[in-house]
Structure 1
Amino acid sequence: MELTTRLEPDADGSDADESGTDETVDSSPLKMTDVLTVISNSRRRFLIHHLKRSESPVTIGELSRQLVAWELDKPPELVSASERKNMYNALAQTHVRRLVECGFVVERRDGIELTPDARRIRIHLDIAPDRDVPWSRYYLILGGFHLAVSVAVLAVAPSSGAIPIGAWGVFVAVSILASALAHRYYKKQMCIGEGDRPPELRHEL
């Protein structure tokens, strides 16, 4: 399984370069080393996901119940007191402290919330099981297929009329558009803070 992470400024028209699998945080004062440290742990990713979906501070108790539910794949109301306590201690003693140190969250009297800098970036997880074809390879295959068939069409169609050039052009345009829409949908699904569950729990491996 391949798991890569891409970070982008959360602003219209300011998407980061998506070539390769490099991590970039353009126009953000958050330090790259701190960002990578934060997202290297699944509990911190789950915590950020929950905070991005909340418009107000969240207590560590609430976070504890939800993170246990995600980890154990059970409804929050079925989380036991001991499970919640263990998670609470881990968050309070380690993960929240690390998020504060890295500039991701601030602690308030009624709970914790993301800093403006943390809310401005989008974190994408690119989860590719071994059996899947990465998007970069998919577009390479698609482009090679279009190029090969286009050469054949241009060489044969004018004399035989077997494949109308206009019809082939429409097919190429539709296939590229459909691929782009599918990629955009996948990208949104893999964004931390989108949907009810964290991306890595929604993706079937």
Structure 2
Amino acid sequence: MSNVLKPVPDQSTDRDDDFTRDDMLEVLSNQRRRFVIHYLKQNGDDASVSEITDRVASWEYGKEIDELTHRERKRVRNALRQFHLPKMADYGFIEFDSRQGTVELTETISHTNFYVDSLTDNSVPWGVYYLGLSLLSAICLAGVWLGIFPFDRFSPLLWGLFFVTTLSVSSVGHFYDNYYRMRLGARETPPEVTEK
């Protein structure tokens, strides 16, 4: 799990939610709670426990909602109602009405972006990617400086243009990956769920 952004302050809220880094990491340390936040951000910040249960169980078991068994739904629903939703409410992430069976993100959390670094399939961590890019750049610069073939075939200006272009394209890709793939609520499925 990667960095968690600080809440964006909203002047209209009555509560003075001041989440510490530990609070955020505690709530986000569990996949089911991340799934709840993702679902609520995708669906207007509020939903019934039943709707959340179906979607969380679907993501957890890798099945369509209509393929879930009663036992799978019950297992997720009980864990959500008895542990995860009350804990999220205690930390001020949601408002949970157990009698009505409704869940709603608090104002602060609905305006907060959470980024989850999840390596799926054969993904390469961005840190490793940039380390490789730096190593390649150092080798190329050393080759240009020493006048070694094929590095001496291009002017230092062209090599500089190559490095700036490569870094720019990588940065745009990294931004896209973080903002559209790793942010809870940005896609239809959470970052940890591999699409079929």
**TM-score, normalised relative to structure 2:** 0.80
Among 45, 58, 64, the alignment partner of 1:69 is 58
Does residue 51 (structure 1) correspond to residue 40 (structure 2)? The answer is yes
Q: Does 1:196 align with 2:188?
A: yes
Distance 2:185 2:167 in 1: 28
Shift of 1:122: 1.9
CA distance in 1, matches of 2:121, 2:54: 33
Match of 2:3 in 1: 6
- For 1:60, the equivalent position in structure 2 comes to 49
SS of match in other structure, 1:126:
coil
CA distance change for structure 1 residues 175 and 10 in 2, over 3 Å: closer, same or farther?
farther
Separation in structure 1 between the aligned mates of residue 126 and residue 20 of structure 2, nearest angstrom: 28
SS in 1 for 2:53: helix
- Among candidates 144, 150, 158, match of residue 135 of structure 2: 144
Equivalent residues of 2:143, 2:152 under 8 A apart = no
Whether 2:97 is the aligned partner of 1:116: answer: no
Q: Compute the displacement of 1:164 (Å).
A: 2.2
Q: Does 1:180 align with 2:171?
A: yes
Distance 1:131 1:42 in 2: 21
| Secondary structure class of the residue paired with 1:167 | helix
Aligned equivalent of 2:12: none
Counterpart residue number, 1:21: none
The 1:178–1:29 alpha-carbon spacing in structure 2 relative to 1, beyond 3 Å, is: same
- Residues 134 and 80 (structure 1 numbering): CA distance in 2 closer, same or farther, change over 3 Å? closer
Structure 2: gaps (5+ residues)? 9-16
Task: Note if contact 1:5-1:125 (Cα within 8 Å) is conserved in structure 2.
Answer: yes
- Matched with 1:125 is 116
Secondary structure of 2:96 counterpart: strand
In 2, distance between residues paired with 1:152 and 1:5? 36
- Counterpart in 2 of 1:23? none
Q: Which moved more, 1:167-176 or 1:92-101?
A: 167-176
Amino acid at match of 1:106: E
Deviation, structure 1 residue 51: 0.7
* Larger fraction in strand: 1
Percentage of identical aligned residues: 28
Report how far residue 104 of structure 1 moved: 0.3
Task: Tell me by how many angstroms 1:131 deviates.
Answer: 7.0
What amino acid does structure 1 have at the position aligned with 2:20?
Answer: K
Cα distance in structure 1, aligned partners of 2:47 and 2:120: 34
Q: Classify 1:103/1:56 alpha carbon distance in 2 versus 1 (closer, same or farther; 3 Å).
A: closer
Residue 135 in structure 1 maps to residue 132 in structure 2: no
1:106 aligns with 2:95: yes
Q: Summarize deviations over 1:163-194 as a string: whole Å, max 9, x none.
A: 12232222112211121122122213111111
Under a length normalisation based on structure 1, what TM-score does the superposition of the two structures give? 0.77
Q: CA RMSD in A?
A: 2.8
Unpaired runs of 5+ residues, structure 1, are 12-27
